[in-house]
Amino acid sequence: MPQPYKRSRSLRRLNIRVLGKSVLRYKERKPGKAKCGNCGMALKGVSRKRPKKMQKIPITGKSPERPYSNLCSRCMRLVMIDKARLQ
């Protein structure tokens, strides 16, 4: 019987072959991809790590270094163009 904390489905179950036998290993699941706040497309350049591991990454590795980093590049471009037209 696995240990109690391994019984929950929050851990991913992996069947790995070790020395000719199939062994069950438990791994933390990866968080979902960051999505654009406008269109919902997956953001590029954003790390997918657990919160504890995200603390150790520098700020430049957590999100893209561009204005409106919560938007994809296409939506960000449209926002910048709209702002320029209003001025």
Provide the residue range defining the domain that includes 46: 31-87
Residue bearing tokens 């953001």: 43
Give the pLDDT confidence score for residue 27 in this predicted structure. Answer: 92
Do 77 and 40 have their domain in common? Answer: yes
Q: Which residues of the chain have pLDDT under 50?
A: none
Read off the pTM: 0.66
* pLDDT 10s digits, 28-42: 988 999 999 999 999
Distance from the first to the final alpha carbon of the chain? 67
Both structure tokens of 2: 């696995």
Query: By the 8 A CB rule, do 26 and 6 touch?
Result: yes
Bin 85: left if φ > 0, else alpha if -120 < ψ < 50, else beta: alpha
| 76: nearest Cα among 32, 43, 46 | 43
Give the pLDDT confidence score for residue 77 in this predicted structure. Answer: 94
The total number of structural domains in the chain stands at: 2
